[in-house]
């Protein structure tokens, strides 16, 4: 399968970036009339370049003028390889340095340097400029970048440049094609007869015709009508490609550069970013806590303020954890690179890597906060996943955890298996939906529930357990009923609590009666046994039990008492004996009346009617008119 990369130009204004792209691709990326009249690039330009190795490159031609650096940043976010342009007749200039700073801050993978306009200088001057460029690149990650002298006029060096680009292109790591689609929008326009079109570099996932996608942060949704990749119609676009997407259901005036086209429901827009921020060594001033800056991420520019978490002032050349409070929402992913510029004067001063997206506002100068952020930034995937769960107080889905940590879902599956084996997390599979919590949260909930149940047993010593819904409402009300039942089942399986129907109890708990309560139960039993089929009313039974409703309930749960009617209790032995007598009569005679039951049992209508209705509910008898028959009698079912 062909692979795709994005090549970006960079360099000072009028150093020949656009002319070089045209020489390599045959495409003039100055598409605006104003650009053509003034001879400089204002907006981003694009051109496809197919390399002999089967790699297709999309070249993003960015403006070099300092007034349009924000446009340069809009195109730089998706670059894999930079074509760094320095004019031989002028050498290193201010925007050369600023563009280089930006490329460093964004961690662009590879670079090829083109020394343009060599037809305008002599050999000695060219050597001097090349030395200046080498000196500029030496302290950077591009110190080994090839430097190729070229001229678009004489064609000198173009083939060597193409070969160098080809070699570097093969060393670029591809963007992840798995996961959800994310395309930062750098252009929005309309085509007559087709409607709204957006373009950008697809950062992750894929986009197919017919997909429903979401524009964040607006939340608008549209359907993909058609796709172009590097100027060619395609059924599908893959990560790493330059893509134009024709959308239906969204008007062109409803969108703007800086928004992101994404798979619905996956990438929320946030206004707080936690990050590692590096202030450039060449920054003219320290960065003060709560200083207002311009924040650039992908194609988005937003204003915000920087909270320094471990100091009051960040010195040039230093790096520190920060939280950036933005004035408008942005779409970000963990490990994204960003750039900040002074609010005024507008110059690039730093950038860094995102550690958390959204999340809580941290207190400053807290060692535990700083240590945790360092683990998230530099730790292994397992450490990052465990750290993300450490302070979480609710179950997290596997997909959410993968999104927060910047780890693929497939890799996260394996990480969670390892963490579960090492007893660092508890994982719950609820019908294919994977949820996970830290072991510390799991044990915290377990202790809370056990403590609550122990207190409940002390207060209600005659109850077999606490209603499980009462426990959820009091302690774990944020849990869904499905997850709550899953964690109860896990505790029961591990022997950490007893789940008895709708009640919960701690292991080893048993109802015990005090001597006084035992006497009351015996007195009640003696009173009811004296006239088994003519028991006293419910009020007298309760009085015999000291008006203790829990004791009454205990007698029922232990099978001593049976609540036959709303205001009538029988001893269980009496109910069983009554049924033996009634059943014998029914088998002999086929039917029985209330009066006959009264006579059989030697009781009153007050007692025998509720007793018969009780047997009806048990489906031992069935009422037919004013008589009862056995519930199932051949030939008499009605």
Q: What is the pLDDT of residues 128-160, one digit of tens each?
A: 999 999 999 999 999 999 999 999 999 999 999
Q: What pLDDT is recorded for position 194?
A: 82
CB 504 within 8 A of CB 465: yes
Helix ranges, 476-589 (H)? 481-493, 515-530, 538-544, 549-557, 572-589
- In the chain, the N- to C-terminal Cα span, in Å, equals 75
- For the record, the structure tokens of 519 come out as 């006497």
Question: Is 479 part of any domain?
Answer: no
Mean pLDDT in residue range 484-489: 96
Neighbours of 268 (CB within 10 A): 15
What backbone phi and psi angles, to 5 degrees, belong to 128?
-65, -45
Average pLDDT over residues 598-615: 94
Mean pLDDT of the chain: 89
* pLDDT at residue 99, rounded to an integer: 86
Q: Do residues 209 and 294 both lie within one domain?
A: no
SS (H, E, C) 215-236: EECCCEEEEEEEEEECCEEECE
- State the Rg of the chain over Cα: 39
Helix (H) or strand (E) holding 454: helix 439-459
| 453 assigned to some structural domain | no
Is 491 within the bounds of a domain? no
Report pLDDT for 634.
53
Give the residue ranges of DSSP H helices in 110-254: 123-137, 158-169
Encoded tokens for 80: 């894999």
CA–CA gap between residue 244 and residue 263 (Å, rounded): 16
pLDDT of residue 56: 81
Mean pLDDT confidence for 388-395: 92
**CA 123 to CA 462: how far, in whole Å?**
101
Domain boundary among 169, 191, 226: 169
Task: Give, in order, the Cα–Cα distances in Å from 351 to each of 320, 337, 556.
Answer: 11, 7, 71
pLDDT at 73: 54
Counting Cβ atoms within 10 Å, is residue 471 exposed (0-12), middle (13-18) or buried (19+)?
buried
Residue 174, domain member (yes or no): no
Does 637 map to a domain?
A: no
How far, in Å, CA of 19 to CA of 302, rounded?
32
Residue 296 lies in a domain: yes
The pLDDT value given to residue 1 = 46
377 lies in some domain: yes
Higher confidence at residue 76 or residue 32?
76
Same domain membership, residue 127 and residue 77: yes
Q: What's the pLDDT score for residue 57?
A: 83
Q: How confident is the model at residue 43 (pLDDT cuts 50, 70, 90)?
A: very low
For 192-210, the pLDDT digits (tens) are 888 899 988 888 889 999 9
pLDDT at 37: 40
89 and 73 in a common domain: yes
Is the model's pLDDT at 64 over the cut of 60?
no
Give the residues across from 378 on adjacent strands. none
Q: Check pLDDT > 90 for residue 60.
A: no
Residues 6+ apart with CB under 8 A from 107: 141, 337, 353
> Model pTM?
0.76
- Residue 477 DSSP SS3: coil
Do the bridges between strand 300-308 and strand 319-331 make them parallel or antiparallel, or are there none, so unpaired?
A: antiparallel
Task: Check whether residue 53 and residue 91 sit in a common domain.
Answer: yes
Residues 349-365, mean pLDDT to the nearest whole number: 94
Helix spans in 30-86 (H): 33-38, 69-76
Strand extents, DSSP E, 202-285: 206-208, 212-216, 220-229, 232-234, 236-238, 242-248, 260-262, 269-279
Give yes or no: residues 280 and 316 share one domain: yes
- Statement to judge: residues 111 and 255 lie in one domain: no
Beta-ladder partners of 112: 83
Q: Which residue has the higher pLDDT, 65 or 14?
A: 14
Across the range 264-291, mean pLDDT stands at 95
Determine the 3-state secondary structure of 85 from DSSP.
strand
- Claim to verify: residue 527 and residue 614 sit in the same structural domain: yes
Lookup result for tokens 């945790």: 372
CATH number of the domain residue 613 falls in: 1.10.10.10
Residue in 313, 206, 327, 326 with CA at minimum distance from that of residue 275:
326
Which domain, by its residues, includes 388? 371-422
Instruction: Tell which of 169, 193, 209 closes a domain.
Output: 169
Of the ranges 62-66, 95-99, 139-143, which one carries the lowest mean pLDDT score?
A: 62-66
Triad 226, 228, 230: Cα angle to 5°: 175
Q: What are phi and psi of 473, to 5 degrees?
A: -65, -40
> What are the tokens at 595?
């009066």
- CATH number for the domain that contains residue 19: 3.40.50.300
In a shared domain, residues 8 and 137: yes
Answer whether residue 615 shows pLDDT above 80: yes
Model pLDDT, residue 34 = 39
User: Between β-strands 110-116 and 147-149, what pairing exists: parallel, antiparallel or unpaired?
Assistant: parallel
Please indicate, yes or no, if residue 107 is contained in any of the structural domains: yes
Q: Are residues 61 and 17 in the same domain?
A: yes
Query: Residue 68: which pLDDT band, with cuts at 50, 70 and 90?
Result: very low
Give the pLDDT band of residue 376 (cuts 50, 70, 90). Answer: very high
- 414 and 361 fall within a common domain: no
Domain count, the chain: 5
Both 155 and 238 in one domain: the answer is no
- The residue-averaged pLDDT of 495-508 equals 94
What are the pLDDT digits (tens) for 239-257? 888 888 999 999 999 999 8
CB within 8 Å of 192: residues ≥ 6 apart? none
Give the pLDDT score at 164. Answer: 95
Q: Are 46 and 70 in contact (CB under 8 A)?
A: no
**Same domain, residue pair 8 and 142:** yes
Cα 245 to Cα 372: distance, rounded to the nearest angstrom:
40
For residue 58, list its beta bridge partners.
Answer: 6, 48
Number of other residues whose CB lies within 10 A of the CB of residue 350 = 26
- Both tokens of 122, joined, read 């002599």
Q: How far apart are the C-alpha atoms of 457 and 511, rounded to whole Å?
A: 9
Of 228, 262, 296, the last residue of a domain is: 262
For position 237, which CATH number holds? 2.40.30.10
């Amino acid at each position: 399968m062909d692979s795709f990369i994005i090549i970006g130009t960079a360099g000072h204004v009028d150093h020949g970036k656009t002319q070089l792209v045209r020489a390599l691709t045959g495409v003039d990326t100055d598409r605006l009339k104003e650009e053509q009249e003034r001879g400089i690039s204002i907006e981003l330009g694009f051109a496809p370049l197919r390399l002999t190795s089967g790699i297709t490159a999309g070249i993003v031609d960015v403006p070099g003028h300092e007034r349009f650096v924000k446009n340069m940043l809009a195109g730089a976010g998706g670059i894999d390889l930079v074509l760094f342009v320095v004019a031989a007749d002028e050498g290193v200039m201010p925007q050369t340095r600023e563009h280089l700073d930006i490329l460093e801050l964004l961690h662009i993978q590879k670079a090829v340097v083109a020394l343009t306009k060599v037809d305008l200088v002599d050999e000695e001057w060219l050597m001097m400029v090349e030395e200046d460029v080498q000196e500029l690149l030496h302290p950077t990650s591009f110190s080994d970048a090839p430097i190729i002298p070229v001229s678009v006029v004489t064609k000198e060096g173009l083939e060597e440049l193409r070969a160098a680009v080809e070699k570097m292109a093969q060393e670029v790591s591809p963007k992840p094609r798995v996961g959800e689609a994310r395309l930062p929008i750098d252009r929005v326009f309309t085509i007559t007869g087709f409607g709204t079109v957006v373009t950008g570099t697809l950062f992750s996932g894929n986009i197919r015709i017919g997909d429903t996608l979401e524009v964040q942060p607006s939340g608008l949704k549209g359907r993909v009508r058609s796709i172009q990749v590097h100027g060619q119609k395609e059924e599908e676009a893959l990560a790493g490609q330059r893509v134009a997407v024709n959308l239906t259901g969204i008007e062109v005036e409803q969108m703007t550069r800086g928004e992101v086209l994404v798979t619905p429901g996956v990438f929320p827009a946030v206004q707080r970013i936690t990050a590692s921020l590096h202030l450039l060594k060449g920054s003219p001033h320290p960065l003060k806590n709560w200083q207002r800056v311009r924040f650039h991420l992908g194609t988005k520019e937003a204003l915000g303020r920087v909270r320094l978490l471990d100091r009051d002032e960040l010195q040039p050349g230093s790096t520190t954890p920060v939280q950036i409070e933005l004035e408008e929402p942005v779409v970000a992913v963990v490990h994204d690179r960003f750039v900040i510029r002074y609010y005024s004067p507008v110059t690039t001063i730093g950038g860094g890597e995102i550690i958390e997206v959204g999340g809580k506002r941290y207190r400053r100068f807290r060692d535990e906060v700083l240590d945790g952020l360092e683990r998230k930034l530099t730790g292994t995937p397992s450490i990052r996943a465990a750290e993300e769960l450490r302070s979480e107080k609710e179950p997290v889905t596997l997909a959410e955890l993968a999104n927060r940590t910047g780890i693929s879902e497939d890799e996260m599956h394996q990480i969670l298996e390892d963490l579960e084996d090492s007893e660092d997390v508890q994982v719950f599979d609820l019908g294919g939906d994977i949820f996970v919590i830290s072991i510390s949260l799991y044990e915290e909930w377990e202790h809370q529930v056990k403590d609550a149940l122990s207190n409940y047993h002390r207060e209600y010593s005659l109850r077999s357990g606490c209603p499980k819904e009462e426990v959820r409402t009091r302690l774990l009300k944020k849990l869904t009923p499905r997850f709550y039942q899953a964690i109860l089942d896990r505790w029961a399986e591990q022997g950490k609590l007893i789940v008895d129907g709708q009640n919960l109890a701690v292991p080893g708990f048993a109802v015990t009666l005090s001597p006084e309560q035992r006497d009351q139960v015996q007195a009640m039993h003696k009173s009811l046994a004296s006239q088994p089929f003519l028991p006293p009313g419910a009020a007298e039974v309760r009085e015999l039990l000291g008006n203790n409703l829990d004791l009454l309930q205990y007698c029922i749960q232990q099978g001593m008492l049976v609540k036959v009617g709303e205001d009538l209790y029988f001893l269980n032995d009496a109910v069983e004996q009554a049924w033996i007598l009634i059943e014998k009569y029914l088998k002999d005679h086929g039917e029985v009346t209330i009066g006959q039951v009264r006579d059989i049992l030697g009781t009153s209508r007050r007692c025998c009617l509720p007793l018969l209705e009780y047997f009806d509910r048990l489906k031992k008898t069935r009422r037919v008119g004013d008589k009862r028959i056995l519930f199932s009698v051949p030939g008499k079912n009605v």
